[in-house]
């Protein structure tokens, strides 16, 4: 059998479907011959991947009573974070308010890049706060301003 490479990971839903498919075919303490290669061809992956999903499902079923075939990759790959969110918040709070007006000035004062600060705000890890430059107008102030404008 030729090896098929797709350059992608199986989603958790696909992993669950594969395990359930294998579980349906499981009888008399065995899986039928050519079952795994057929599934591998169907999902465009290798037989070893299918075998690993089956093994993990069986092991977790024996240990906990629930088959867990989810990917363990999430949260454990990629570059490690330089600063935690708590460290960043502490650095921001240490900066005086007048130096927090723009991302650039805040980045210079904290030593954290403006792009990182912007990304954290966008991901809602830290909150953006604004201060009003102009006070809110009350109804009386609005009437006074309208009467002033109409006087011309």
Q: Would you kindly state where each structural domain of the chain is located, as residue ranges?
A: 12-64, 85-122
pLDDT of the residue at 76: 87
**3-state SS, residue 137:** coil
Q: Which residue blocks in the chain are alpha helix, DSSP H? A: 12-25, 35-42, 47-64, 85-94, 103-110, 114-122, 139-150
Report pTM: 0.56
Q: Does 105 score more than 70 pLDDT? A: yes
| DSSP code at position 97 | G
Tell me: the pLDDT tens digits for 30-43?
A: 888 899 999 999 99
């Amino acid at each position: 059998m030729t090896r098929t490479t797709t350059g992608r990971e199986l989603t958790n839903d696909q992993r669950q479907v594969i395990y359930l498919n294998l579980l349906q075919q499981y009888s008399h303490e065995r899986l039928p011959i050519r079952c795994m290669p057929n599934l591998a061809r169907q999902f465009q992956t290798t037989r070893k991947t299918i075998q690993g999903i089956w093994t993990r499902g069986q092991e977790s079923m024996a240990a906990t009573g629930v088959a867990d075939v989810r990917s363990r990759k999430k949260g454990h790959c990629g570059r490690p974070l330089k600063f935690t969110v708590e460290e960043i918040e502490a650095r921001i709070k240490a900066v005086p308010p007048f130096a927090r007006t723009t991302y650039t000035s805040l980045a210079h004062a904290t030593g954290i890049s403006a792009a990182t600060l912007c990304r954290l705000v966008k991901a809602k890890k830290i909150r953006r706060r604004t201060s009003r430059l102009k006070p809110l107008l009350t109804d009386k102030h609005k009437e006074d301003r309208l009467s002033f404008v109409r006087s011309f």
